[in-house]
Amino acid sequence: MFIFRKQYFFLTLILFVVEIFIAAVVHDRIIRPYIGDFLVVIMIYCFIRTFFNISIIKTALGVLLFAYSIEMLQFFELIKKLGLQHSVLANMVLGNFFEWIDLVAYTLGIVLVIVFEEFSLPYRMKISR
């Protein structure tokens, strides 16, 4: 079950750097909120695929359910209920407000992953599923 895949590891690192850049530098109404959400599910997917030999679909759906769960915690204002609304870390990890469009961004990110994995990868990478 445990495995190490270099290609997913490097993709995870690249996406992590992009996410940090977006969080630190970009303060707009499109890239930071929506492209960041789109990319974060891809990054989490790549991280899991780096170390675990779980099928593409199971990993993708698990990441999507995880992202939806985080968004639902935002809907129920968990950070406020825990008294962590002033915590920068809590706000970065859990986010601070719910938006339906975030669910669309997560879904589109996972759809891209599935399409890429199923239709675009070279044969040699598909063998290592």
- pLDDT 10s digits, 28-68: 988 988 999 999 999 999 999 999 999 999 999 999 999 99
Under 8 Å CB-to-CB from 82, ≥6 apart: which residues? Answer: 90
Q: What is the pLDDT of residue 96?
A: 79
pTM of the model: 0.87
Band (pLDDT 50/70/90 cuts) for residue 122 is: low
Q: What is the pLDDT of residue 127?
A: 46
Token couple for 120: 């675009």
Q: What angle do CA 106, 111, 116 make, to 5 degrees?
A: 130
Q: What is the pLDDT of residue 88?
A: 86
pLDDT in tens, 74-99: 999 999 999 998 888 888 778 878 99
Say if CB 65 and CB 45 are below 8 A apart.
Answer: no
Q: What is the pLDDT of residue 124?
A: 46
The domain locations on the chain are 6-127
Sign of the Cα pseudo-torsion (5, 10, 16, 18, in order) = negative
